[in-house]
Structure 1
Amino acid sequence: MKYSEEPDAFLQAVLEGFVDGIVVVTDQQEIIYTNATAQSICAQLSKEDKAFLPTEIQRAYEALVESRDLYGDRSITIESEAATPETRFRIRAQWLPLELVQRPCVLLRLQDQNQATLGLAVTEAQKWDLTPRETEVWLLRRSGCSYKEIAAMLYIAPDTVKKHLKNVHLKRQVVQDETDWQESQAS
């Protein structure tokens, strides 16, 4: 394996490739790094708030910094949620030891729950070997759409949605049964 001559460029490429937003902030609120996803999420959450770190993210950051007096150097993660009319975001704050920076740093991970649900639904569709139409129906159902909403979006009858979801559940059960059987044979 060949490593890049520029480790900073390599690390930045890795951080930019994350689906989650990444923000690194010192304990004195100096922002060291943000990836493009974090910038987008912060913009969505701070439509009226002009600060870079929206109120919800700032609260998680402050809770972690204040917890240091209680927990010392123990590894803890503060979790919170924020919402817009379009989506929900999970916020996780934890200490990040960085030798290159003189101040203690906080890692803020921002996860778009809709994006996470979509990723999970795609993985499930592949695992259960769903047809393209079953996958479409499953993605919409996992996103919280009702049978009627799915039918309207895909221009199909609600009974057809029910049929596809029944097939999805049957395929899921077949995979689960196979997994259970394999586990029972292994023990």
Structure 2
Amino acid sequence: MTAPVVFASLEAAPVGPLFRPYAAEKASQSAASRRVRRSSSQLPQNNAQSSDAPALNLIQSSLLESLHQGVIVTSCSLKPLYWNARARQLCQHLAGGDVQPLELPTAVAEVCRRLMRHDRLSELPLILECQTKTGQTIRLNARWLHLADDRGTQQPYILILLENCNDLLQEEVRIERKKYDLTEREAEVW
């Protein structure tokens, strides 16, 4: 049995509050409230009051933090606007130590530069696998993310998803072991 897949669109939700902790400049409260009102009107109406907007932001933030993948959103100048805890952890593995909050590790910056050299209108992701000093393989998946600013103008950002391939392989072995009722030794041979 596999877990259900949940799709969430960042375009239909107010993303400003998610990026605010790492943004170089903070938007004013009035601009944030306009953004919440504008984006909440784009959401399907399910009898939710406008007072539910902070709860929606909390839910979105919690969802991004609970992912097993690392999520980074950067500007075209490669300044991180948002990254979840898993992304910070995987970036520390890539960098071999602590990561500065406003600086991307070399491998992540490189995949972003490669994406920028390609067509900005492409929906295809750019995927790069990197080996850490500890022997872990980290997969970087970079793609364009176009979001509307306060004036409704589409702005390009880069969305980077990071995942530890070693963890994925261990999870796959665990699932196969359970699926076929294998012993630990049988799973090693499998």
Alpha-carbon contact 1:122-1:135 (below 8 Å) kept? no
2:175 is matched with: 123
Residue 135 (structure 1) shift: 3.9
Q: 2:31 aligned with 1:31, yes or no? A: no
Using the TM superposition, give the Cα deviation of residue 50 of structure 1 relative to its aligned residue in structure 2, in angstroms: 6.0
**Pick aligned residue for 1:53 from 100, 104, 125:** 104
**Displacement over 4 Å in runs of 4+:** 1-4, 48-51
Aligned length: 135
Is the aligned partner of 1:17 residue 2:17? no
Q: Does 1:103 align with 2:155?
A: yes
State the TM-score, normalizing by the size of structure 2. Answer: 0.62
Structure 2 CA distance for partners of 1:126 and 1:50, relative to 1, 3 Å? closer
Which residue does 1:113 correspond to in 2?
165
Give 1:32's aligned amino acid: L
Q: Which of 113, 123, 136 is residue 75 of structure 1 equivalent to? A: 123
Structure 2: runs of 5+ lacking an equivalent? 1-45
Aligned amino acid, residue 81 of structure 1: E
Match of 1:87 among 136, 139, 144: 136
Once residues 171 and 148 of structure 2 are traced to their aligned partners in structure 1, the CA distance between those partners, rounded to angstroms, is 34
SS at match of 1:104: strand
Root mean square deviation, CA, Å = 2.7
Call closer, same or farther: CA 1:127–1:103 in 2, change over 3 Å: same
CA gap 1:2/1:38 in 2 versus in 1, 3 angstroms = farther
Please report how far the alpha carbon of residue 112 of structure 1 lies from its aligned counterpart in structure 2 after TM superposition.
Answer: 0.5
Q: Which fold has the larger relative contact order, with Cα–Cα distance below 8 Å and residues 6 or more apart in sequence? A: 2
Q: Would the alpha carbon gap of residues 86 and 7 (structure 1) be closer, same or farther in structure 2, given more than 3 Å must change? A: same
> What is the CA-CA distance between 1:92 and the residue it aligns to?
0.7
Gaps of at least 5 residues in structure 1 are: 142-164, 170-187
SS in 1 for 2:116: helix
Q: Structure 1 residues 36, 128: CA separation in 2 closer, same or farther (over 3 Å shift)?
A: same
Q: Deviations over 1:30-53 (max 9, x none)?
A: 312101111011111113796631
Output the TM-score relative to the length of structure 1: 0.63
Confirm or deny: 8 A CA contact 1:22 1:35 kept in the other structure: yes
C-alpha contact (below 8 Å) 2:69/2:86 kept by paired residues = yes
CA distance in 1, matches of 2:68, 2:99: 24
8 Å contact from structure 1 (residues 78, 93) kept in 2 = yes
